Amino acid sequence: MRPFRNAALVGLLILGMIPGSAAALTLGFEGINDYSGSLLEPNCIYGDRAGATYVQNLDTALASHPRYFIYTNDSVWESDVHTGGWIDKANFFVFAGHGLRYDYWPELNNMSSLHFYSQNGDPDYHSSSEEGLDSVNATWDEVRVGSTGTLRFASFYTCNWLKNGGSNERLQKIYQMFQGVKATSQPPWNFVAAFFFVFRPFSRCWMFLERRVCLGLPTSWGAGGSP
């Protein structure tokens, strides 16, 4: 996938649309390009992505805000997005990588997931026969965004993360993830759509803030293309 290069525009769109963003926010980034290893390492069946490139460009575009951390590729772990993990260390967290839909693998237990390459560092990869492992999938019941009070905003550039397939049971699990975060996004199709289609219609988003969650898009839209 061609990496999105106009990260400065994306950065302006993000912070320009977030209330109170004139004050410095601490930033945390995690992104994965490499879902495949060397000749001696197995590969994820979903292939490489431009996640690391995206967060690196976004980090540059938002340089006026202090970066708390940035992790890419093998250094991005599933445990990072658990309660008390790195996701809770910054005010604004961005994840960019694959996302798997609730019905892709039985191990997901009917929940969508953020999908990782490293098995929490031990080992630094997973094979095509291990796509459903818990160590490379953070499902809805493992993520509680904003529960510690530090994280205020979150963005996920990934497929499937907010898809519920019309199921109210799945929708309730999505709602339960968000505990204090003011906005989140799941962009459709590409990086440009991520911020024109998600952050522009804030009149719709603010309706959800009373519930401390903003899905930004109808969950039936999800994200197009490969996960």
Dump pLDDT digits (tens) for 79-115. Answer: 999 988 999 999 999 999 999 999 999 999 999 999 9
Cα distances (angstroms) measured from residue 137 to each of 44, 76, 161, 192 = 12, 12, 11, 26
Burial class (CB in 10 A: 0-12, 13-18, 19+), 172: exposed
Name the percent of the chain lying above pLDDT 90.
46
d(CA 204, CA 44): 36
Q: What pTM value is reported for the model? A: 0.75
What pLDDT score was predicted for residue 182? 59
Provide the pLDDT confidence category of residue 69 given band limits of 50, 70 and 90: very high
Could you tell me how many residues make up the chain?
227
User: Are 186 and 156 spatial neighbours (Cβ–Cβ below 8 Å)?
Assistant: yes
What pLDDT score was predicted for residue 169? 94
